[in-house]
Homo-oligomer: A and B are copies of this chain.
């Protein structure tokens, strides 16, 4: 359940650095994988982070570590690196990773760094910087393996052998025609087991799943996941192959999108869990607005209750059951919301299933509402019976019935609201996860209070 703790490694490294034990320190750093060094640096006290990064001898490893450091702690490290230092590291990176780092910098520094980079690296980076980071173009890597349709299997294998490490993620050989248009794909395994003299056009699979640079990056992750691909070609508007989205990037996208959806549903903004002072400020700024929905809804509920103050004075016991009625409504509403939003995100539900989904949730709400409503009504009737002298209107049984009906109605309403809001959002092509959470709980609060007092008016005659 838990990621391996890094505390021991962190403590050792800090101690060795304080002591100036360079040799032992380097030995540890050289013996640790880049991804683990990135984790180590994350959990180091801030002033040590850039220092330890510099101690990694091999520049390729140093660049890889920088690539693997998460974006919530990266900016403070980048600040401590000189322009020259950073430009050398950016040159070492695959260009899509370099662009991810560059995107964290202000325009001025970005320009300075591009000016310091090798011409070819700069051009690749500038090309990629033009794409929206949330698009397929924004996550693609321009390092792919493509050859013409008339090239033979033997020539292709020879090409692969001479290219060496530049094609780190070459799982597929993409086949293009004379106009650079993508016309087929050959898997590396297919290549190895095919007769050497056959042209690629004869062994390729012509029906290639592809995305456009402007497609959402989520399209890349859906297609890679759905068709169990290792990489997906990205083409421009005229079907020219310009990059590939690889499965390792897709894993990151899937994780980030899941995090984004969770945060949106909780109205938790988009700030990651950075523990430094600027992280706290960022977190406050990003969470404050979402709380507004709840605040406004709360005021709405206040005015409703205030309007029923006369009734409350007659049956003081009513106030006691406000929290449980809106709380249970909020909970079942959150359940419906979560299940439906996730079902939509995973493609298990379609927007045109609105009626079926909502009626399903209505049934669930009715069943759960009836169950807990009857239980709570029993409690209500008992309390009213024990406190009969204060119950100036109605009898304990009617009071219990009011509670049963209100709780059940509030839960049905909540389940319907919680399931229909994301379905409707999907239909309107709005991301269903966009803070539907705070809106739904707020709506449920207001509607729950209304239904409660309305039931009381009818059943208790107040």
Contact B339 A321 (CB under 8 A): no
Contact of A319 with B335 at beta-carbon distance under 8 Å, contacts A283-B364, A426-B2 already known? no
C-beta contact mask, A1-35 vs B, less than 8 Å → 1, else 0?
A: 11101110000000000000000000000000101
Please report the C-alpha to C-alpha distance between residue A322 and residue B437 in the assembled complex, in whole angstroms: 20
Contact B324 A295 (CB under 8 A): yes
CB distance from A8 to the nearest CB of B (A): 11
CB distance from A277 to the nearest CB of B (A): 9
C-beta contact mask, A78-121 vs B, less than 8 Å → 1, else 0?
A: 00000000000000000000000000000000000000000000
A177 in the interface, Cβ–Cβ < 8 Å?
Answer: no
B-side contacts of A305, CB under 8 Å: 319-320, 322-323
A297 in the interface, Cβ–Cβ < 8 Å?
Answer: yes
Please report the C-alpha to C-alpha distance between residue A6 and residue B323 in the assembled complex, in whole angstroms: 43
Contact A442 B327 (CB under 8 A): yes
Q: Please count how many residues in chain A sit with their CB below 8 Å of the partner chain's CB atoms.
A: 131
Contact A263 B372 (CB under 8 A): no
Contact B437 A363 (CB under 8 A): no
Contact of A43 with B248 at beta-carbon distance under 8 Å, contacts A161-B193, A295-B375, A330-B441 already known? no
CB distance from A402 to the nearest CB of B (A): 14
**A:368-402 near B, CB below 8 Å:** 368, 371-372, 375-376, 379, 383, 387, 390
* Other A-B pairs beyond A288-B367, A309-B390, A313-B316, 7, CB < 8 Å: A1-B216, A230-B230, A254-B254, A267-B331, A267-B334, A284-B364, A327-B441
Sampled A-B contacts (6; CB under 8 Å): A266-B334, A267-B335, A287-B364, A294-B331, A301-B324, A303-B320
Task: Kindly list the 7 A-B residue pairs having the minimum CB-CB distance in the complex, ordered from nearest.
Answer: A298-B324, A3-B347, A258-B258, A266-B338, A273-B343, A301-B323, A228-B248
Spell out A's residues near B (CB within 8 Å).
1-3, 5-7, 33, 35-36, 39, 42-43, 70, 72, 157, 160-161, 164, 167, 170-171, 188-189, 192-193, 216, 218, 222, 224-228, 230, 247-248, 250-252, 254-255, 258-259, 261-263, 265-269, 272-273, 275, 279-280, 283-284, 287-288, 290-291, 294-295, 297-299, 301-303, 305-306, 309, 312-313, 316-317, 319-328, 330-332, 334-335, 337-340, 342-344, 346-353, 356-357, 360, 363-364, 367-368, 371-372, 375-376, 379, 383, 387, 390, 426, 429, 431, 437-438, 441-442, 445, 449
